[in-house]
Amino acid sequence: MLQGLTADTATDRILESVLSGNRLSVDDAFELYQNGDFLKIQLAAREIRNRKVNPAIASYTAFRVVNYTNFCNVECTFCSFMDEIGSGKGYVLTEDEIVKKMEEALEVGADQMFLQGGVDPRIPFDYYLGVMRAVKEKLGKHIHIRAFSPVELMNMEAITGLPLEEVLRTLKQAGLDSVPGAGAEILTDRMRNILSPKKATSEQWIHVMETCHREGLPGSANIVWGSEETRHEVIEHLDLIRNLQDRTGGFHSFIPWTFQKQTKKFYVRNVPAQEYLKVLGICRLFFDNITHIETSLMVLGQGVGQIALHSGADDISSIVIEENVLRSYGIKSEEKARIFLSESGFLPMRRDFNYTYREPELTLG
């Protein structure tokens, strides 16, 4: 028994069971969300974190977000980034502009590009291939390109008429290294109808991600909550991701986020820090098959991020060089990331996308 847990209550017994190595069931995860003691969940989550990764370290990485276009026909109710196709207001970055953005990022130490944009069927498939080839040819093969959410990939499937597998293989040959788990939000059809009825359904999202993993394109997964979802739907989302991970093992990490108020069309409630940290702790306990839990400093800020690292998270995601979609509390330089992690009580560790640490002798196993 972990000191601080008394096994007096039903939720204490659930935590004790997880700490003994049993998988957290959907019902028990819901019970923890509803009735679990906040501090005991954090304690158990921290213990599991420390069994999976070196307790002394917390990691970070550095990438530049490049939003290649803001034209989009999906119309997610929460998005203030998109411009309607034909509105004449939007932009599509040229190959040269994207290479230049990555060049600037390299100069300040970022070696990963997160390429993402709206869905514009007018953009030809060759554009995506050309951008990735240009970045790799001009800046080096070591630049990691992480790109395209399921809805963007489905658009490429539609415009080319090719099967998804073929689309992915072609993108990979052009330089795609991994995919983000973007666009998942809440994977229940009720919520997706509220959020973005034109976006990939839960089933389509899972199908695209599973195909990416099978084609050798790993990624991360996330949840974004804090709207009209129920607690059952939060756990249902986690369960879909865990089941997919059981089948493919393609997720390196999981990131819990909360919605930001961006438009009037979409209800956003203020998720309290206590609830954010509780859900993050439940994620750590639930995902016995995902090694890393990331906390995002961009949404709830650095104070909450520090506590998150003691509540189950082991990574602060990244130094983000550019982020058009969210108001940002993110860290903008490597030096600041290292100071932040040291002040949080950890040895800062830079990692790459695959969670290979720069100082491997300090890592577990």
Residue list, annotated binding site: 72, 76, 78-79, 149, 185, 296, 318
**CB-based contact 131:98 (threshold 8 Å):** yes
Among 74, 99, 176, 298, binds ligand SF4 (CB under 6 A): 74
CA 346 to CA 365: how far, in whole Å?
19
What track of x and - describes contact with ligand SF4 for positions 205 through 224 (by CB under 6 A)? --------------------
> Measured from the CB of residue 71, what is the shortest distance to ligand SF4 in angstroms?
9
Among 65, 72, 115, 132, binds ligand SF4 (CB under 6 A): 72
> Measured from the CB of residue 72, what is the shortest distance to ligand SF4 in angstroms?
3
Among 14, 15, 82, 290, binds ligand SF4 (CB under 6 A): 82
147 makes contact with ligand SF4 (CB under 6 A): no
Q: Tell me the window of 43-51, 76-84, 166-174, 350-358 that interacts with ligand SF4 (CB under 6 A).
A: 76-84
Q: Tell me the window of 75-83, 209-217, 268-276, 278-286 that interacts with ligand SF4 (CB under 6 A).
A: 75-83
Q: Which is nearer to ligand SF4, 114 or 287 (CB)?
A: 114
337 makes contact with ligand SF4 (CB under 6 A): no
| Helix locations, 215-351, DSSP H | 231-248, 273-286, 297-300, 302-308, 334-343
- 259 burial (CB, 10 Å; 0-12 / 13-18 / 19+) is buried
Instruction: Identify any residues that bridge with 351 across adjacent strands, giving them in sequence order.
Output: 357
Nearest by Cα to 310 from 1, 42, 5, 56: 42
Residues 6+ apart with CB under 8 A from 361: none
Nearest by Cα to 135 from 87, 79, 94, 95: 95
> Measured from the CB of residue 325, what is the shortest distance to ligand SF4 in angstroms?
7
What track of x and - describes contact with ligand SF4 for positions 23 through 62 (by CB under 6 A)? ----------------------------------------
Q: Which amino acid is at 31?
A: E
Interstrand relation of 251-258 and 292-293 (parallel, antiparallel or unpaired): parallel
> Measured from the CB of residue 305, what is the shortest distance to ligand SF4 in angstroms?
24
150 makes contact with ligand SF4 (CB under 6 A): no
> Measured from the CB of residue 159, what is the shortest distance to ligand SF4 in angstroms?
15
119 makes contact with ligand SF4 (CB under 6 A): yes
Q: What is the largest CA-CA distance in the chain?
A: 63
Angle at 56 between CA 55 and CA 61, to 5 degrees: 100
Instruction: Identify any residues that bridge with 219 across adjacent strands, giving them in sequence order.
Output: 179, 251
Q: Which is nearer to ligand SF4, 266 or 340 (CB)?
A: 266
Among 76, 93, 145, 277, binds ligand SF4 (CB under 6 A): 76
118 makes contact with ligand SF4 (CB under 6 A): yes
Q: Tell me the window of 74-82, 219-227, 315-323, 335-343 that interacts with ligand SF4 (CB under 6 A).
A: 74-82
Q: Which amino acid is at 256?
A: P
Residues in contact with ligand SF4, counted by CB under 6 A, come to a total of: 11
Looking at residue 223, the DSSP 8-state letter turns out to be: E
**CB-based contact 34:269 (threshold 8 Å):** no
Residues 6+ apart with CB under 8 A from 102: 64, 66, 113, 135, 139, 143
267: its two tokens:
């209800």
Q: Which is nearer to ligand SF4, 136 or 192 (CB)?
A: 192
Q: Which is nearer to ligand SF4, 36 or 117 (CB)?
A: 117
Q: Cα–Cα distances in Å, from 228 out to 69, 181, 193, 215, 242?
A: 29, 21, 11, 35, 23
281 makes contact with ligand SF4 (CB under 6 A): no
Q: Tell me the window of 77-85, 228-236, 278-286, 345-353 that interacts with ligand SF4 (CB under 6 A).
A: 77-85
83 makes contact with ligand SF4 (CB under 6 A): no
CA 15 to CA 13: how far, in whole Å?
5
156 makes contact with ligand SF4 (CB under 6 A): no
Lookup result for tokens 């890592």 = 363
